[in-house]
Each structure stands twice: as C-alpha cells, then as structure tokens.
Structure 1
Amino acid sequence: MNSLLIMGYTSFDLGIFDEKDLKVSVIKKAVKNRLIGFLEEGVEWLIFTGNLGFEYWALEVAKTLQKDYEFKIGTIFAFETQGQNWNEANQLKLAAFKEVDFVKYAYETYENASQFRQYNDFLLENTAGAFIFYDEENVTKLKYMVEKMRNTATYELFFLDFEDLQDTFEEMNE
C-alpha cells in the first residue's frame, strides 16, 4: 500500500479543547505506534483532509516521524475556504496542514452537497487504504465515509478505537 488516508474524530466530537489534555498524549502515542507500522510496511504517502482533532494530532506525529522515515505528507482540502472563520489558534493548526509536501483543494468554495460525494470519491480513488479513529458505538458523520470505504472492494481499513486508546494508556502507565 503506498498511500494512506488519515481520518478521525474532531476535537469537538471528543470533547477535547485543550492541547495539554492527557487524552491528546494517549492518542498521539497510539498514532505513533500505528504509523511506524504502516511506514515500515512501505507506506509512501500519508494523506490528510485538514480537520482538527485526530487528524491534526496525527499530522504532528507524522511530521516528527519524517526525521526517521522516508515518506511524504499531503493535504487534500475539500474547499479553499476551509477554516477561514477559525480562531487564531486553529488558524495556526490549519497552516500546519499547508506546510506539507503536497496541498490540493478539491473546490474553491462550497456550492452544493454533491461536492462532498465527489470529494470523498476522489479520496477513495487516490488512496489505497485508511487509518481511521472511529468506533461504531460513537457514531458521527464519519460513518458515511466508513460505509463507503467498506463498500470499496480493494480498499484497506485500519481502525483506532477507544479500546486501543485504553490499552495505550495502560502501557504508558506501566
């Protein structure tokens, strides 16, 4: 697999509004362990969509891993206007998604709902699999993309869930 899409819960979905929250450290540790595995198996590209929360934390981890592994990072935003109304702290996070090896915008601005379907189709057609922080018992709008991925025959799905985070937390405290 040469390209891996990274998606997951937003900080709002998780109720995490402080970067110093212990949960962020646990998530980053779990992400690091999984990303190292993907990179050692030959993943060449990590692709993000520019969402805050899990994606941002995974991006931070990925950028540190670029010092030790040879791979590229790309962000494919749905819209050029993504994040334009975010506060200053979140604008800095948005800038981090733009400071990668490849940046692309699917559309200039939002015009209609079909753009999201086309955008999601593009992501699936241009990645071989996805690493997703998602739990079936905590459903969000991610469920539609997960269903679409499951219905794509050759698409590989790798999940991080709350049980994995509990295991990581316990390992960190041994």
Structure 2
Amino acid sequence: MNSLLIMGYSSFDLGIFNEKDIKISVIKKAVRKRLIGFLENGLKWVIFTGNLGFEYWALEVAKELKEDYEFQIGTIFAFETQGQNWNETNQIKLASFKQVDFVKYAYETYENAGQFRQYNDFLLENTEGAFVFYDEENKTKLKYMVDRMKNTSDYELYLLDFEDLQETFEEMNE
C-alpha cells in the first residue's frame, strides 16, 4: 500500500480535554504499533485531513516515526478556512498539520454540502486504504466515511476500536 488515510474520533467525541490524559498515551502507543506495521510493509504516504483528536495524536506519532522510517506525510484539508476560529492552543495544533511534506486544500471556503461528498470522493480515490479509530458501538459522523470505505472495492480499511485500546492499555501495564 502506497497511501494510507488516517481518520478518527475528535477529542470532544472521546471526552478528552487535557493533553496529559492517560488515554492519549494509550492511543499513541496503539497508533505507533499499527503505523510501524504499515511502514514495514512499504507504506509511502500517510494522509491526514487536519482534524483534532485522534488525527492530531497520530500526526505526532507519524512525525516521530519519520526519524526511523522513510515516508511522506500529507494533509488534505477540506477548506482553507479550516480552524480559523479555533483558540490559540488549537491553532498551534493546526499549524502542525501544515508542517508536513504536502499540504492541499480542496476548497477555499464552504459553499454547499456537495463539497463534502466531492472531498470524501477525492480522499477515497487518492488513497489505497484507511486507518480509522472508530467503533461500531459508538457511532459519530465518521460512520458515513467508514461505510463508504467498506463499500469501495479494492479499498483497505483498518479499524482501531476501544477493545484494541483496552488491550494496549493492559500491555502497557504488564
């Protein structure tokens, strides 16, 4: 696989509002393990959409892994205006998504709901698979994309769920 899209729950969806929350270290440990597996199997591009929460923590892990693995990181934002109203702390995180090998904006500003469908189509057409933190028991707006990924032929979908995180937590405490 050449390109892998990374998506997942927002910090709000997870109820994580403090960067020192132990859940973040568990999530990062699980991401590191999975990403290393993808990279050792030839992954060349890791693609983000610039969302806070899981994507941001995965971005931090990916940037750390660049020291040991040769791959590229890209962010494809839906809109140039994404995050413009975020607070200062989140602006810093947003800037981190822009300090990667490739940055692209699908649209300048939001004009209509059809843009999201076209943006999602573009993401699916330009990646070969996705690594998504999503649990069927805890549905959010991610359900739409996960269903699209499942129904796209020749598209690899790798899910991370709460059970995986529980296993990672237990491994960390052995």
Corresponding letter in the other structure for 2:150: R
Residue 62 (structure 2) aligns with: 62
**5 Å matches for 1:75-90?**
75-90=75-90
Residue 106 (structure 2) aligns with: 106
Corresponding letter in the other structure for 1:88: E
- 1:59 Cα offset (Å): 0.1
SS at match of 1:4: strand
SS at match of 1:132: strand
Q: Which runs of 5+ in 2 are unaligned?
A: none
Q: How many residues align?
A: 174
User: Which TM-score applies when normalising by structure 1?
Assistant: 1.00
- Alpha-carbon separation, structure 2, partners of 1:138 and 1:147: 14
- Alpha-carbon separation, structure 2, partners of 1:120 and 1:44: 21
Question: Following superposition, which runs of at least 4 residues in structure 1 exceed 3 angstroms of deviation?
Answer: none
- Alpha-carbon separation, structure 1, partners of 2:138 and 2:17: 18
- Alpha-carbon separation, structure 2, partners of 1:145 and 1:161: 16
SS at match of 1:73: strand
Residue 172 of structure 1 pairs with residue 172 of structure 2: yes
Corresponding letter in the other structure for 1:141: K
SS at match of 1:139: coil
User: Which TM-score applies when normalising by structure 2?
Assistant: 1.00
Corresponding letter in the other structure for 1:132: V
Corresponding letter in the other structure for 1:89: T
- Alpha-carbon separation, structure 1, partners of 2:162 and 2:42: 26
Corresponding letter in the other structure for 2:85: N
Q: Which runs of 5+ in 1 are unaligned?
A: none
- Alpha-carbon separation, structure 2, partners of 1:142 and 1:97: 20
- 1:137 Cα offset (Å): 0.2
